[in-house]
Amino acid sequence: MRSVGTLTRADLADTVNQQVGLSRADSAQMVESILGHMTDAMENGENVKISGFGTFLLRDKGERIGRNPKTGVEVPITPRRVLTFRASQMMKDRIIAGN
């Protein structure tokens, strides 16, 4: 069953099992395959867009100067790649309407 507050891979596989009728093993394999394909695409520098859900965006951040909040000492922050998620308008409308 679904744990409170978190949707897991097992929850997704159970839903595929119930709604599509695949075996539990095939459902889990399908979920893993989809997540793996998404991860591979992002690893190769591609953004992942799921229509009606949202977009996983990769962004390269340059080097910048930060400040240690305790001491106030300036320190360089190294360049890095960050992953962000932007929900689609349809998703935002659905979630906000649900509250």
CATH code, 93: 4.10.520.10
pLDDT greater than 80 at residue 3: no
Q: Is there a single domain that holds both residue 3 and residue 26?
A: yes
Are residues 41 and 71 both part of a single domain? no
d(CA 46, CA 66): 29
- Domains in the chain: how many in total? 2
Q: What was the pLDDT predicted at 98?
A: 65
Q: Is residue 40 located within the same domain as residue 52?
A: no
Distances (CA, A) of 21 to 52, 61, 90: 24, 44, 28
Residue 5 — pLDDT band, cuts 50, 70, 90? confident
Residue 58 belongs to domain spanning: 47-99
Closest to 59 (Cα-Cα) out of 83, 43, 79: 83
Which pTM does this prediction carry? 0.75
pLDDT tens digit sequence for 17-48: 999 999 999 999 999 999 999 999 999 999 99
What's the pLDDT score for residue 99?
59
What pLDDT shows up at residue 4?
67
